[in-house]
Structure 1
Amino acid sequence: MSLAFPFRIDARGRSAEVFGDDHIRDMIEQVLFTVPGERVNRPDFGCGLLQLTFAPNNDALSAAVQMTVQGALQQWLGELIEVEAVTVQCDDATLNVTVQYITRMDRDRQLARYAKELA
């Protein structure tokens, strides 16, 4: 059992909780959308994905973003997941990220999709 991300209150009036795969998805989201330097006690946490959204869209940037995201996920969540593929697309004012991974505990293949409004 872990606290839900983003933090919220559940129907019982308590801190919302998540379990298993939902917790892993929450942790992936935190790594993806946390800017390095944002966390006080972990200044290198995150991958800086949001900082790259307004850079020119080309193949080189796309490859760099994919490697940066995959490296950050391996660094911070490598004990829990094995990253197979990362896809990052920017559509108008929305950043779409798809992460395909295998959970190390039960070897289940998972696909997580995240969308972040940029405006």
Structure 2
Amino acid sequence: MNTLLLPLQIGPDGRTMLATPAQSLRNMIEQVLFTAPGERVNRPTFGSGLQQFVFAPASDEMATALEFTIQAALLEWLGERIQVEQVAVASADSMLSVTVVYTVLVSQERQTDTFLRSLAD
């Protein structure tokens, strides 16, 4: 199945560019991470709620809760495609960094992707 490359881009032939399966999966993970529950009208539970933790007091317990919340959201929405092995969240200055280590179930290929988001937005 072909999916559009996100963010949308126009190729040299004037058509919208398509994503590879790896790009498509990475885009889906990013959507789950940075979508707040309630943000999508037809899927009110979609997302991880990651951004609600940004201003929470920093502690080991909070970091563990955040990682568990992200793993649960990825399992719920992408559990048929990936097996999440590890999630690590860090913030520095005004940037939030989420590293997800996962196995693609179809190919059994292990991947590590890091997603960055500005906290200033």
One-letter code aligned to 1:55: A
| Secondary structure class of the residue paired with 1:8 | coil
Partner of 1:32: 33
CA offsets 1:57-113 (integer angstroms, 9 cap, x no match): 110110000000000000000000000000000111000000000000010000011
CA RMSD of aligned residues (A): 1.0
| Counterpart position of 1:18 | 19
- 1:6 and 1:68 mapped to 2: Cα distance? 26
Q: Distance in 1 between matches of 2:62 and 2:6?
A: 29
Instruction: Report the equivalent of 2:86.
Output: 85
State the match for 1:71 in structure 2. 72
TM superposition score normalised by structure 1:
0.95
Could you say which residue in structure 2 is the equivalent of 1:115?
116
Structure 2 partner of 1:58: 59
Report how many residues are paired: 119
Task: Give SS of 2:107's match.
Answer: coil
Q: 2:60 and 2:16 mapped to 1: Cα distance?
A: 42
User: Percent sequence identity over matched residues?
Assistant: 46
Where does the alignment leave 5 or more consecutive residues of structure 1 unmatched? Answer: none
Long gaps (5+) in structure 2? none
CA distance in 1: counterparts of 2:56 and 2:9, whole angstroms? 33
Which letter maps to 2:51? L
User: How far off its partner does 1:47 sit?
Assistant: 0.5
